[in-house]
Amino acid sequence: MKERSILALVIITLVMLAIGYLVAINVDVMPVAASSRALLVDDLARILFGLATVVFIIVQGALIYAVVRFRKRKGDNSDAIQYRGNNTLELIWTVIPAILVTFIGIYSFRVLSEIEVHSDDEMVVEVIGQQFIWQFRYPSYDVRTQELHLPVGQQVRFEITTLDVIHSFWVPAFRAKRDATPGQVSELVITPTELGSYPIRCAELCGVGHSVMNSLVTVESEEDFLKWIAEQSGVLPTPDLEETGSIPAETEIAAEPAQLVGSSIFGRYDCGVCHVLDDAGGFGHVGPTLEGIGETAAAREPAVDARAYLLKSITRPDAFVVAGYSAGSMPQNYEDRISSEELEVLVDYLLTQ
């Protein structure tokens, strides 16, 4: 009897190990692995999946066995046999999980420390989240874009921030995700290894436009990357970081055509990523086109003149919501970010459109 149950135990253990192994090598739920860290993360996920499958089968198997084997049979009204404690059993189900958890802990820690290693020649890319777009700045090239391009094999350090609420920068193909937290710069290191284009998502519910807060990363050869960078220069005006958002003294404004100042403010605050406005390089379709806004603004609200309408549309976007768009989809913090002088110039500029 004793020999037979030991044999059964050995067979069950071997079968379980085989099932776990088969599951581990066959799970294929992940997207393309396009970065060096992706391979390590995938191996970890595989092993966890295999272990979890074995634990699941054993626990559910024991449960089903007990339910069937010890069910109440017809005509049997006797009490069940009473057991009190079983040291062997308790030892087994304490020691085995303890070993498993320790193994998983050490293994995960090793993967974590390996994927966060920095190299000396990393390229810095600033990632800026904002309702509901991602922007990328390449400080070494003085370029700002809405699409991410990376040279293959080059380690990149993302410096992730947000202009408003919490977002989360997520590139599933890189197995990389990090929160963009207000007032803080979070870092994330990756090395892209596979050529191709992969989705970028926001992984933190950040408002009504959260589901459209997507972009694309293109991993390409260094040559193509440099070509692309050269094409990007000057597409979006790069904000001068020293310039804290206030415009030069009035005399200087007068010296420069107001139109130009207006369109540069439009560019500096990224209005163009959500609004079409050819004159200022605006190309976005998140909000209504601002082509001809000078005239439409007057007709929007019977009781409000065009100037007041525009001012309010920018500082309190939810005060008037254009038909077909939802409240909350334009950033709510321009009132704090744009000085009143700049606002004046911006509104004057929009009125001329």
Point out which residues bind ligand HEC (CB under 6 A).
131-133, 269-271, 273-275, 286-288, 293, 296, 300, 310, 313-314, 317, 320-322, 325, 329-331, 334, 346
Within 139-168, the residues that bind Cu ion by CB under 5 A are 167
Do the Cβ atoms of 125 and 156 come closer than 8 Å?
yes
Considering beta carbons, is residue 43 or 243 the nearer one to ligand HEC?
243
Within 210-239, the residues that bind Cu ion by CB under 5 A are 213
296 binds, among Cu ion, ligand HEC, none (CB under 5 to 8 A by kind): ligand HEC
264 binds, among ligand HEC, Cu ion, none (CB under 5 to 8 A by kind): none
DSSP codes, 162-189: ESSS-EEEEEGGGTEEEEE-TT--EEEE
With H, G, I as helix, E, B as strand and everything else as coil, classify residue 156: strand
Strand pairing report for 148-151 and 215-220: parallel
202 binds, among ligand HEC, Cu ion, none (CB under 5 to 8 A by kind): Cu ion
Tell whether the torsion through CA atoms of 73, 75, 79 and 82 is positive or negative: negative
Supply the minimum distance, in Å, between the C-beta of residue 213 and Cu ion: 4
Q: Rounded to an integer, what distance in angstroms lies between the CA atom of residue 160 and that of residue 180?
A: 6
206 binds, among Cu ion, ligand HEC, none (CB under 5 to 8 A by kind): Cu ion
Supply the minimum distance, in Å, between the C-beta of residue 122 and ligand HEC: 30
213 binds, among Cu ion, ligand HEC, none (CB under 5 to 8 A by kind): Cu ion
CB atoms within 10 A of CB 131: 24
Supply the minimum distance, in Å, between the C-beta of residue 130 and ligand HEC: 7
How far CA 282 is from CA of 125, 170, 171, 270, 297, in Å, comes to 23, 26, 26, 8, 18
Supply the minimum distance, in Å, between the C-beta of residue 64 and ligand HEC: 53
Supply the minimum distance, in Å, between the C-beta of residue 325 and ligand HEC: 4
Within 10-49, the residues that bind Cu ion by CB under 5 A are none
Within 166-205, the residues that bind Cu ion by CB under 5 A are 167, 202
Percent helix, percent strand, percent coil in the chain, to nearest 5: 45, 20, 35
- Residue 293 binds to Cu ion (criterion: CB under 5 A): no
Supply the minimum distance, in Å, between the C-beta of residue 138 and ligand HEC: 21
Cβ contacts of 337 within 8 Å, gap of 6 or more: 163, 245, 269
- Residue 273 binds to Cu ion (criterion: CB under 5 A): no
Supply the minimum distance, in Å, between the C-beta of residue 205 and ligand HEC: 16
Which one of residues 206, 217, 219, 350 is an interface residue with Cu ion (CB under 5 A)?
206
How far CA 309 is from CA of 16, 110, 114, 152, 264, in Å, comes to 69, 57, 55, 48, 21
Residue whose pair of structure tokens reads 């193994």 in the numeric block: 103
Which residues contact Cu ion (rule: CB under 5 A)? 167, 202, 206, 213
